[in-house]
Amino acid sequence: MGLLTWAPVVTLVAAVSVGLVGYVLLKDGELPTLQENQFWGPTSRRDAKEDTSIKSFKINISEKVLTDLKTRLKLEFATVDERVADPLERVGFQWGVHKNFLTKVQDHWLHKYDWRTREAWLNKYPHFKTTISGIEIHFQHVKPQKKGKKGTRALLLLHGWPGSFVEYQKLIPQLVEPENSDINFELVIPSLPGFGFSEASSQAGLGPPEIAQIMRTLMLRLGHQKFYVQGGDWGSMIAGDMATMYKDNILGAHMTMCFSFHPRSILKFGAALALPKFLLDDEERPQFSPLLRIITNHIRETGYIHLQATKPETVGVALSYSPSGLASYILEKFSFWTDEKLLSKEDGGISNKYDLDTLLDNVMVHWVGKSTTSFLRIYAETLNPLTSTQLSLDSVPTSVPVSCRNYPKELLAQPKFALMDKFQNLVRFTRAKTGGHFSAFEGPIELAADIVTSLNLMDLTNQIDVD
């Protein structure tokens, strides 16, 4: 009888305890304070007065660098049969870039690809550099020739990995003076720290929130107190952090890789994966089910994350000495991340989906920019608990307007209902009929149109004069 008497009390205490734990774990977080004036340059420059001027920059790679690249490529191409194993039959790209595809890339790179022509194309729009928090930041700055009907808005465009500013080149003419838009856009397209022509940090701790701080400083230095931000891949995460941290500056954010790590979002997403028939609509279900396919794909395709989050320096050494190795490492992502079904094709489906010159432009920017190690570190700075100083922004709600463009083959995505705990002012959520992770490369016109429509909608809700 004694146990039966106490049973209701024990049950009540257990229920209250579970409720309290759930509340603590699932509640919204408070915005943490990010240290101001952090210094990311080498210690030898710490005491020097920072030059905040904005300097014009032109891509002009020396013949010495290009000759060295060509020498390496020639040797790798000539010895590929001696050094690289023959591919397995009928495996395609399932195990990565194989020798047959690699030799086609090497041949094109050596005999058809013309860097000076591509360099001139990349210089079509003006480039600049400025020093922020001890490191030199490269960016493009493109202004419209005229104001739109309702003025001009500043738009910060943020790339991800293994991308670069290259991915936005075909969007520029679509965005700067867009058709069917009441506003024109003044574009700022930076290279993230440690990517391409932006200097890498010399200090540990430069994760997405800290990069967000640098990007805000860049926009303020250019005279933009209020601006829009757009991003894909890491650019989406940084754009989301900017929207969370700087609501007084960010007019709105557009992202192509919308994902919320808010505890309630993760709980809802897990439930959707487990019960897709009940929690997902007919359009969502193919992307997020069956669960076994989702789990298998993520186990198979996230090996690079573990490497880059734990040993980026080791991987970087290998990539820095071999242009063929760097191209293989980067181009492999353009197969599965575009569509998992392309893995069965001999060329990973890359030849039909992408222009090889443009993909090599992206590879070249990292090779000649000497960023083949530093562009890996963002993973360690974010995902490795031993090195990461990531702020607790995941559970902090974002109140500024957000628009999400969901692509059916995007790797890291969530259904709309799971996003809204984090992005509480989700003004637009659209689903593309086709496309994967590299939307800026794969469908620049379609992506630009969605950005323009989204920002015009946000501009109506903002009702603020920022000209």
Does residue 221 register a pLDDT over 50?
Answer: yes
Query: In terms of DSSP bridges, do strands 152-158 and 227-231 run parallel, antiparallel, or are they unpaired?
Result: parallel
What pLDDT digit, counting tens, does each position of 152-170 carry? 999 999 999 999 999 999 9
Which has more confidence, 15 or 118? Answer: 118
Average pLDDT of the residues in 240-251 = 98
Spell out the SS3 assignment of 258-281: CCCCCHHHHHHHHHHHHCHHHHCC
Does residue 438 register a pLDDT over 90?
Answer: yes
Q: How far apart are CA 108 and CA 392, in angstroms?
A: 46
pLDDT of residue 9: 45
pLDDT of residue 154: 98
Residue 379 designated active-site = yes
Reference 252, options 155, 182, 173, 186; nearest CA is 155
Does residue 218 register a pLDDT over 70?
Answer: yes
- Coil/strand/helix, residue 87: coil
Burial of 111 (0-12, 13-18, 19+ CB in 10 A): exposed
User: Is the previous residue joined to 162 through a cis bond, with omega within 30 degrees of 0?
Assistant: yes
Hey, CA dihedral for 223, 228, 231, 237, is it positive or negative?
A: positive
Catalytic residue among 379, 407, 421, 450: 379
Reference 26, options 397, 330, 426, 400; nearest CA is 397
Reference 169, options 242, 130, 215, 119; nearest CA is 119
Q: 152: which 2 tokens?
A: 């001009």
What pLDDT digit, counting tens, does each position of 125-155 carry? 999 999 999 999 999 999 999 988 899 999 9
Judge contact between 404 and 428, C-beta under 8 A: yes
pLDDT of residue 298: 87
pLDDT of residue 466: 52
Query: In terms of DSSP bridges, do strands 184-190 and 250-255 run parallel, antiparallel, or are they unpaired?
Result: unpaired
Average pLDDT of the residues in 252-272 = 97
Judge contact between 419 and 395, C-beta under 8 A: no
The full set of domains in the chain, from first to last, is 150-301+398-467 (3.40.50.1820)
> E strands within 26-75?
55-57
Q: How far apart are CA 32 and CA 241, in angstroms?
A: 12
pLDDT of residue 11: 44
Burial of 328 (0-12, 13-18, 19+ CB in 10 A): buried
Residue 437 designated active-site = yes
Q: Where residue 391 falls among pLDDT bands split at 50, 70, 90?
A: low
**Radius of gyration, alpha carbons of the chain:** 24
Residue owning tokens 């690289």: 84
What pLDDT digit, counting tens, does each position of 307-350 carry? 999 999 999 999 999 999 999 999 999 999 999 999 999 999 99
Catalytic residue among 233, 241, 347, 421: 233
Kindly state the percentage of the chain with pLDDT values over 70: 92
Average pLDDT of the residues in 160-186 = 97
What totals of helices (H) and strands (E) does the chain contain, helices first?
A: 22, 9
DSSP per-residue codes, 340-409: GGGGGSTTTTHHHHS-HHHHHHHHHHHHHTT-TTGGGHHHHHHH-TTT----S-TTS-B-S-EEEEE-TT
